[in-house]
Amino acid sequence: MATSHIKITKAPGSWTVRAGGAVLGESRNALELHEGGYPPVIYFPREDIAVAFLDASDSTSHCPHKGDATYYSVVTKSRTLENSVWSYENPKPDVAEIKGYLAFHRMDEITIEQI
């Protein structure tokens, strides 16, 4: 799907996400979202993520192109990574394919890589 601002494609190959040394998920069905001049974001299907490591947050945000995002914190052995995961539960129609997917902020404690 492509809009004037956002392009979503199937991410090639297998992708993994780790936090605090633990593997949170691995997927062959990840999506890659390109938005404007931002680096691409990998969205993982919720069913491929160990959601037991995620705690729902009260934080939300609004994107005029994607809709309202809800946030989750990742609980690792050493600390909680506040609001480091987001999801669009009811995305706008132009980006409907990201519904049910989770994206992770890239940071020192979270790694997202193609394997």
Give the Cα separation of 43 and 41 in Å (integer).
6
Question: DSSP string covering 81-96, please?
Answer: EEEEEEE-SS--GGGG
- pLDDT of 97 above 80: yes
Distance set, CA 82 to CA 25, 27, 32, 58, 68 (Å): 18, 23, 23, 11, 18
Residue spans of alpha helices (H) in 1-115? none
Q: Which residue's entry shows tokens 């593997």? A: 23
Q: How far apart are CA 30 and CA 36, in angstroms?
A: 20
Enter the pTM of the model: 0.93
Contact 27, 45 (CB under 8 A): yes
**CATH code that applies to domain 6-114:** 2.170.150.40
3 has pLDDT over 60: no
User: Where in the chain are the domains?
Assistant: 6-114
pLDDT in tens, 4-32: 689 999 999 999 999 988 899 999 999 99
pLDDT band at 2 (very low <50, low <70, confident <90, very high): very low
